[in-house]
Structure 1
Amino acid sequence: MPVKTTCPYCGVGCGVVADRDADGKVTVSGDREHPANFGRLCSKGSALAETIGLEGRLLAPLMNGQPATWDDALDHVAGQFARIIREHGPDAVAFYVSGQLLTEDYYVVNKLSKGFVGTANIDTNSRLCMASSVVGHKRAFGSDTVPGCYEDLEQADLLVLVGSNSAWCHPILHQRMLAAKEKNPACRIVVIDPRRTATCEGADLHLPLRAGSDVMLFNGLLAYLAGNNVIDRDFVGNVTSGVADALAQVAGQTVARTAGACGLTEGTLELFFDWFARTERVVTLYSQGVNQSTSGVDKVNAIINCHLLTGRIGRPGMGPFSLTGQPNAMGGREVGGLANQLAAHMDLENAAHRDIVQRFWRAPVMAEKGGLKAVDMFDAIADGRIKAVWIMSTNPVVSLPDADRVRAALDACELVVVSDCMRHTDTTRHAHVLLPALAWGEKDGTVTNSERRISRQRPFLPPPGEARADWRIVCDVARRMGYAGFDYAAAAEVFREHAELSGFENGGRRDFDISALATCDDQAYEALEPVQWPVTRDAPSGTARMFETPHFFTPDHKARFVAVKPRAARNATSRDYPLVLNTGRVRDQWHTMTRTGKTARLLSHIFEPYAEFHPEDARMAGVKHDGLARLTSPWGKMIARVVVTSEQRRGCVFVPMHWNEEFAGAGRVNALVNPAVDPLSGQPESKHTPVKADPFRPKWHAFILSRNEITRPASGYWVHGQAGNCWRLELTGNERPESWRDWARTQLGLDDVAIEWIAYRDPAAGRYRYAAVRDGRLEGCVFIAPNHTLPSRVWLIGLFAEQELSANARMSLLAGQPFGDGEDRGAIVCSCFGIGRNQITAEIRNGADSVEAIGQCLKAGTNCGGCKPEISKLIATTAIPLPSSAAAAQPQLAGSLTE
């Protein structure tokens, strides 16, 4: 029976329909009735059914690596937490949680920490992506309120994307924007980003500003608006405060001065300013490029100031819009998931709010001051102030900055408890106690997306092994610690309490209010339709847009301008570290890959961690395209594949944040990342780390493809994962074995008499190829070279699908390239349909001159649309050859063909 649920990836909050047949096979499709996506799913969402297998799952509690009963594990956690609190006080324990938790999970762990243990040392990985936006909202509106809704993006005439590669990070929302632009000829899209990202392919203007200069740019826009009298004087005069100070801060800031500071041409910047000034319906969307900064809060307020000055907020098609990174980053904020918050959008530092929550919870104690934010929390673990930490549904050894210090902190901690669905992550290997949690498809609860829309996550799979819901695990520990108030029978009961608290002594004084849902019974909770908060007696169907009546949640009910002054990054570049490292995401991977890394389809787009350089920076560093580079910062090192492109801004290098020690050796970029944080939000500076780059030149390079999983090396550079019907391992080394043949056979683990070996050796060139065939089928192959120049893997991976290798396929293995009728699809561009670069360029040369034409020929781009920017770029850059009668030469083999 089909079950409607919600995607577990980004903050768009797409509706999903999961169907499980009688044999247990699950299919996933988009929910056509869900207002976030109307049936569309991105490549990650489309592949959800491929990620729900039990391979690698944590299915029973473990203590010190040994199986344990739930009773023993829970008794140990409760007893040790109680002892440490008794001996060292409540601030000696901490909880580090996640936007992957459901709201019900988040609610009970915050209740336990702040109202019963009495510590605010609970923070969330949402600190790493959304904390600056939270503080910016509160400074401007008096509350953490996202004003708009997705419909605003379709009603706007100008969409400004700041530090947001929405084409890859929020693809379904990006496709909604592009569709709206196509319907509205007046609509323009502007992208403000140091890199030319995939999002720029659909934009009318790209401003490649100098990294970190966003405040200067939006202060310049504010000055331009004021200088050209683009001011909604009634709005500013009646419902805002602080405008005089904000304008005084930008007085005299000219377009020329702004352009110079931002590294932009004056004409390009003035064009953007003019579009903003002349366009009433403007939505400014921002994401991690704004938030992940030591001046992230100021960047948020610089954006909001421009909307306040023009009165462009609270009306259709306009407003500042924060795009959240996780499926429940918003839900975590609703229940006080950050160390400086209380539940129901109340303030921890506000004594009246503490009293409200304490009385409602009937809590014995209440934390009275803000707790340690994420980076500070792990510093406190490192120096022994925090002696026990419970980590839930997140992987901080990969995702936090200065990640090697985080790893060392956990090694030194007296008690590390980890609740997770996966057995092996970079973080779980440091746990004393592992508690098996439910995963997506098994969980029951709610999440809230970027537009304040609450949606249900419903289970369609049975709990595997001994796994339990996170909220239930927390309650089991709380009761063992002697705390009342944790006797919930189901997630619906937790939700009702959460909803009731939101309306408790509210009276319209707080933005977050879903009290109309507090009386929903279990049946109504099960059937709950997506709804945007506030959901009150006066608005029982929810609220699409906030501040339509300009009443803000400040003491005087006025929105506040905030005068912000541009500040340099905390750690500047230098002669020793001349480049600025900027981290981010790729299209088909999610966070630290514990889910998306399980599917070969998603790994096919980008298999290895990479570093993107401007050509001049690559030349200065001595690194070459497709070679390897070692990146070094004052905090750590990593190795990545080099991509040289003029679409990268000079002086910057971009590296994705996903790879970890389960998938790559020396591939954790956050080991390098600057641990400096915004002084107000505590959000780390993930977009501006000073680094240097050097060529990494091992003595040999190799890749291995095998039908059986390949053992990963203990050290050195390597990348491992699934690839079609086989496993793939990329690796390098400095020590040459005595016999490459014996080494290859050992790597494949195949040496019985039934194996037929195909081999090619060219010792003079240092190139070797070995393939193992059993009963006509390819079992594995090993390709070795003295440098990174190795054959395409895509066509080789395709050979594993053949039941019997043809003569041409055997020749291909020797030649190192497709032979005869073989086809090399090239690097995968469309992961939904497995369409490669070579296939697309061939159709372009045959006359397909649009993305739509490619879709008709190959289906590429017709599902999620996430590959459309890459297809568009290929159309623009593919040369159309002149007719030629030259016959294609057959591949020539050098060296010796021997066993």
Structure 2
Amino acid sequence: MDSNSGVVQTTCPYCGVGCGVLAETAPDGTLALRGDPDHPANHGKLCSKGSALGETLGLHHRLLEPMIGGRPARWDAALDRVASEFSSVIARHGPDAVGFYVSGQLLTEDYYVANKLMKGFIGSANIDTNSRLCMASSVAGHKRAFGEDVVPGLYEDFELADLVVLVGSNTAWCHPVLYQRLMSARRERGTRVVVIDPRTTATAAECDLHLPIRPGADVLLFNGLLAHLAASGSLDRDYIARHTEGFEEAIALAAADAGSLVHLAAGCDLDPAALRLFFELFAANARTVTVYSQGVNQSAHGTDKVNAILNCHLATGRIGKPGAGPFSVTGQPNAMGGREVGGLANQLAAHIGFEHPAGIDSVSRFWNAPNIARQPGLKAVELFEAVGAGRIKALWIMGTNPAVSMPDAGKVRAALRSCDFVVVSDVVATDTTRFADVLLPAAAWGEKDGTVTNSERRISRQRRFLPPPGAARPDWAIICDVACRMGFGDAFAFRSPAEIFREHAALSAFENEGRRRFDLGGLAGLTEDAYDALAPRSWPIHHADGAGAGRLFGDGGFPTPDGRARFIPVRHEGPALHVDDSYPIALNTGRMRDQWHTMTRTGHVPRLAAHAPEPVVDLHPADAARLDLAEGDLARLSSRYGFTRARVRITGDQRLGDAFLPMHWSGHFAASAAAGTLSAPITDPLSGQPELKHVPVRITREALGWIGVLITRRDLRPTGFVYWSRAATAGGWIYELGGTEPSDQGTLLARKLLDPFPRARLLEYTDRRGPSFRAAVIDDEGAMEEALLVAAPGRLPGRDWLVALLASRAPLSPTDRRALLSGLAPVAVPSTGRIVCACFHIGQHQIAAAAAAGCNSVEAIGAALRAGTNCGSCRSEIRAIIATNRVEAAE
């Protein structure tokens, strides 16, 4: 807490940027959240999701008490059951018959005790994390090249660089605060920006060069860059000689792989002149940062892609220097913290792996754990395969939703259904919690204390500013109580997160002697008060009063036996699965701008739902024409593993032959729309990270016989519909409905949604001249509680005025009641259109009107409407609306 009474300094729970947040409680009990101007990650800025954090703190679907077999239980009974079931399975089948699946949503202290329990005392390494799906390839690539999983640079390098290369990273949407730091540098000091991405994303819309690379060709591209650097005399021969090994082997394979510029351009499906320009820019700018994210990592060859990038930086000595270095940005708030404590199945703890028996013995002695695991455990995909095969008989899932997010999600759900014993500890009900034999209510963001580490190795405090509701408890306390009941009480007698952090810090320094860069030894003696006041700092931290280290490896000194980095020879392999006549489209998956993971928090916030209210698949116009698909059609996407449904959006931002589907939709927000159902469980052999960016699919049109919309205060999960999706709105929800049945049957099916209401409160009208049905429910105060409209495809009346009625809760006039049945608004209702700026809730029509009135730049729109002036992630869309207005004005 800072010096101003009532203000708590904490950290955002979303992406790996790790933005500081101020939570201020007013005397009347109201809470206000804003960016922390003193936090070095964001300097007061927040993205659209961070700006809406205060709107996610309600009790929507919160788990408030333990459940056993679906029935409420006391904590003692639930914890006893978990401990006894795990102990029984271990006694009968051995420690490898149990598993933990954890999350980058956990705080470091939670992660630490979970890893310690599983690896140190249960004696199995079968603990893995959903971070396996997002950054495991970076971990493996760092370890191969550097000897340890270390990100060398700092965020300020984005602002000091002369060239920033963004590879497989839609930074404008996924890490908006970092992107705005980069855009400021571009405006103020002329930083050049290159985007390498198959899609023309919001990031690609504001860059100097966009390379729409063929999916999977990243190794080929960077091998070509390495060969060019050698041929053009752009290598740092001194750095290579003094600080690296293996260059000759790497350059020989790279040159053979890339071939001529024409051959390389053909392999990458890029314009040779654009490719040459990129090579020349990279060669000419000593201050170059290469930022890479899921487009690189989420691949069956992700580790090779990472090393192809690292090879280019090692070859030019551009590493750990101001404005120069490779930079992996993570997707979760504590993916880095999980890596530090050993949350991955192939790591032990404190950046100590299973490769060296001496390291295992060191951790065993520190923990006093003679039965410590001595070999890697099952990575995420393997873990759930083992659950399905019956080898894992007891599973504990913490803070994640694998029933939606894992590849081949249908098979994962079947595995959970068949597992002998499943424990889930989480904050809210999810698609996964319904498989739990024991369900444990965990404390949420704002309700617990601990630390997180962001993508620049910066440790920040998350501080509690709300009491946990109901019986919810912090994850670390739940885990420790189970450990004590399993007989490991002496090792888990922690009384606070600070105690756990001190042990974590002490382990990082134990028998380290400089062999590992991860070292928090300076913080091992923190008092409770010092821990509470801990300011953000980057590791390594050798002294309690130190601010932590800055950049690493600028002068060599890599954590390898000889202190040298390793060039890794890599060869282009291409995607693991190829399109064919049966599955002719390559599907890419990724994030939407305003949503987070499976939408358990953000999906309940109206202004975050307004930008993309339905599941949508993006297609190139030529592909849509070839597949006989029109804008707004309902499409069925099928892969070798399952199917989903989504609305069609036709856009030239897609490459020909590719499609894009957001990863967020779960069974709580749509029917059969989860991207994980389509994805292949094919993984990188080194990192275990699955191929989520290239899934061959077949896309066909669903012939809808009817469509409908339900505008309601009720929080429903409809069943029996071919298609439904929902978006939060002020006062309730908007449900989109549809089916392949004839329209009269569709009306009967939709009409059943009204069955809970007595007929006296219903207004209904069926149009005998056509397949049209309209109904409304009036509450006891005479206000509209619900409205249902059903019609033939393309024939639904407008709903803006109905949405406004729901939000107002005002008693209806006789005119309003007649209008409800006619389907026509009694007066014209101005439409804001689809929301473009979520931060200030500014719609497409408002921006278009301002552009028509003379606001002919993004800055002018910002001055008039404020749109685009906060996180800036909507700037590319604003620019596109302005351009459209200019074209229309000229016609």
CA separation of 1:814/1:173 partners in 2, compared to 1, >3 Å: closer, same or farther?
Answer: farther
Distance in structure 2 (CA, Å) of the matches to 1:482 and 1:575:
58
Residue by residue over 1:152-189, the C-alpha shift from the partner in whole angstroms, topping out at 9 and shown as x without a partner, is 0000011110000011111111111111111112x111
1:761 matched to 2:767: yes
State yes or no: 1:437 paired with 2:442: yes
Which residue of structure 2 aligns with residue 57 of structure 1? 62
Deviations 1:375-419 (A, max 9, x none): 000000101111111100000011100000000001111110111
Deviations 1:404-437 (A, max 9, x none): 0000001111110111111x21100001011111
492, 496, 509: which one aligns with 1:490:
496
In structure 2, C-alpha distance between the alignment counterparts of 1:193 and 1:698, rounded to whole Å: 34
Match of 1:8 in 2: 13
- 2:627 corresponds, among 603, 621, 627, to 621
Offset, 1:312: 0.6
Specify which of 167, 188, 207 is matched with residue 192 of structure 2. Answer: 188
Q: 2:130 aligns with which of 125, 134, 137?
A: 125
Counterpart code for 1:853: A
Equivalent in the alignment of 1:602: 608
Tell me whether 1:154 sits opposite 2:154 in the alignment: no
1:159, 1:816 → 2: CA distance?
53
- Whole-angstrom CA distance in 2 between matches of 1:839 and 1:813: 26
CA distance in 1, matches of 2:816, 2:861: 28
TM-score, structure 1 as length reference: 0.95
The amino acid that maps onto 1:303 is I
1:243 aligns with 2:250: no
Alignment of 1:373-392 (within 5 A): 373-392=379-398
Contact 2:558 2:565 in 1 (8 A): yes
Q: For 1:494-643, list aligned pairs within 5 A.
A: 494-537=500-543, 540-643=546-649
Letter aligned with residue 168 of structure 2: G
Given that 2:782 and 2:812 are in contact with CA atoms closer than 8 Å, whether structure 1 keeps it comes out as yes
Indicate the larger mover: 737-746 or 847-856.
737-746
Query: Structure 1 residues 797-806 or 26-35, which shifts more?
Result: 797-806
Q: 1:177 to 1:818 in 2, by over 3 A?
A: farther
Matches within 5 A, 1:257-406: 257-406=263-412
Aligned residue in 1 for 2:3: none
Write the distance in 1 (CA, Å) between the matches of 2:348 and 2:799: 52
User: Does residue 863 of the first structure (1) align with residue 867 of the second (2)?
Assistant: no
For 2:838, which of 831, 846, 860 is the aligned residue? 831
Deviation at 1:800, TM superposition (A): 2.5
CA distance in 2, matches of 1:75, 1:715: 41
State the secondary structure of the residue aligned to 1:800.
helix
Structure 1 residues 743 and 336: CA distance shift in structure 2, 3 A: closer
Matched, 1:428 2:433: yes
Rounded Cα–Cα distance in structure 1 between residues aligned with 2:841 and 2:818: 24
Q: 1:507 to 1:808 in 2, by over 3 A?
A: farther
Alpha-carbon distance in structure 2 between the residues aligned to 1:575 and 1:362: 58
Give the letter aligned to residue 359 of structure 2: H
Name the SS for the 2:383 alignment partner: helix
- Equivalent position to 2:783, from 763, 777, 789: 777
Distance 1:269 1:235 in 2: 26
Q: Supply the AA of the counterpart residue of 2:324.
A: M
- Note if contact 2:220-2:267 (Cα within 8 Å) is conserved in structure 1: yes
- Quick one: which amino acid aligns to residue 104 of structure 1? E
The verdict on how the C-alpha distance between 1:463 and 1:779 changes in structure 2, with shifts beyond 3 A counting, is closer
Change (3 A) 1:34 1:325: same
Secondary structure at the counterpart of residue 389 of structure 1: strand
Q: Which residue number in structure 2 is paired with residue 692 of structure 1?
A: 698
CA distance in 1, matches of 2:797, 2:49: 28
Q: Equivalent residue for 1:730? A: 736
What is the CA-CA distance between 1:860 and the residue it aligns to?
1.2
Q: Tell me what 1:227 maps to.
A: 231
Map residues 169-188 of structure 1 onto 2, 5 A cutoff: 169-185=174-190, 187-188=191-192
> Which amino acid is 1:636 matched to?
G
Are the aligned partners of 1:387 and 1:413 in contact in 2 as well (CA < 8 Å)? yes
CA RMSD of aligned residues (A): 2.0
Tell me if structure 2 keeps the 8 A contact 1:42–1:171. Answer: yes
Distance 2:819 2:184 in 1: 44
Residue 872 of structure 1, aligned match among 861, 874, 879? 879
Q: Which residue of 1 aligns with 2:850?
A: 843
How far residue 20 of structure 1 moved from its aligned partner, in angstroms, is: 2.4
How far apart are residue 806 of structure 1 and its match?
7.3
Inter-CA distance 722–251: structure 2 relative to 1 (3 Å threshold): closer
TM-score, normalization by structure 2: 0.96
Contact 1:417 1:434 in 2 (8 A): yes
User: Could you tell which deviates more after superposition, 440-449 or 860-869?
Assistant: 860-869
Given that residues 638 and 668 in structure 1 are in contact (C-alpha distance below 8 angstroms), is that contact kept between their aligned partners in structure 2?
yes
Offset at 1:816? Answer: 5.5
Please tell me the residue identity of whatever aligns with 2:117: L
Q: Alpha-carbon deviations, 1:54-96, whole Å to 9, x = none?
A: 2211111111101111111111111111111111111000100
Out of 107, 112, 130, which is 1:107 matched to? 112
Work out the CA distance in 1 between the residues paired with 2:380 and 2:671.
25
The alignment partner of 1:191 has SS state of: strand
Equivalents in 2 of 1:477, 1:316: separation in Å?
Answer: 47
8 Å CA contact 1:395–1:426 kept in 2: the answer is yes
Name the CA distance, whole Å, in 1 between partners of 2:559 and 2:852: 59
Q: Output the CA distance in 2 between the equivalents of 1:711 and 1:475.
A: 35
Q: Note the alpha carbon deviations across 1:864-892, whole angstroms, 9 max, x for none.
A: 222112111212223455599xxxxxxxx
1:14-29 paired onto structure 2 within 5 Å: 14-29=19-34
Query: Could you say if the C-alpha distance between residues 198 and 796 of structure 1 is closer, same or farther in structure 2, counting changes exceeding 3 Å?
Result: farther
Task: Tell me the distance in 2 between the aligned counterparts of 1:192 and 1:793.
Answer: 40
Gapped runs of 5+ residues in structure 2? 1-5
Secondary structure of 1:246's aligned partner: helix
1:140 is aligned to 2:139: no
Letter in 2 for 1:94: G
Which residue of structure 1 aligns with residue 859 of structure 2?
852
SS in 2 for 1:664: coil
8 Å CA contact 1:315–1:548 kept in 2: the answer is yes
Residue 121 of structure 2, aligned match among 116, 122, 128:
116
Per-residue CA distance 1:543-601 (angstroms, 9 max, x = gap): 12111331101111111111100002221111100111111000111001111112122
TM-fit CA distance, 1:684: 0.3
Structure 1 residue 467: deviation in Å? 1.1
Q: CA–CA distance in 2 between the matches of 1:396 and 1:47? A: 25
The offset of 1:716, in angstroms, is 2.2
Counterparts of 1:727 and 1:260 in 2: how far apart (Å)?
A: 49
* Cα drift, residue 861 of structure 1: 1.3
Contact 1:767 1:785 survives alignment (8 Å): yes
Preserved contact between residue 743 and residue 791 of structure 2 (Cα < 8 Å): no
The equivalent residue for 1:209 is: 213
**Distance in 1 of aligned mates of 2:31 and 2:535:** 23
Do residues 200 (structure 1) and 207 (structure 2) align? no
> What's the offset of the Cα at 1:770?
3.5
Structure-to-structure mapping, 1:608-687, within 5 angstroms: 608-687=614-693
Are positions 1:476 and 2:496 aligned together?
Answer: no
Residue type of the alignment partner of 1:234: D
CA distance in 1, matches of 2:700, 2:531: 56
Amino acid paired to 2:872: G
2:544 and 2:413 map into 1 onto residues whose CA distance is: 50
Cα 1:700/1:226, change in 2 over 3 Å: same
Give 3-state SS (helix, strand or coil) of 1:829's partner. Answer: strand
User: Which letter does structure 2 place at the counterpart of 1:210?
Assistant: R
Contact 2:762 2:775 in 1 (8 A): no
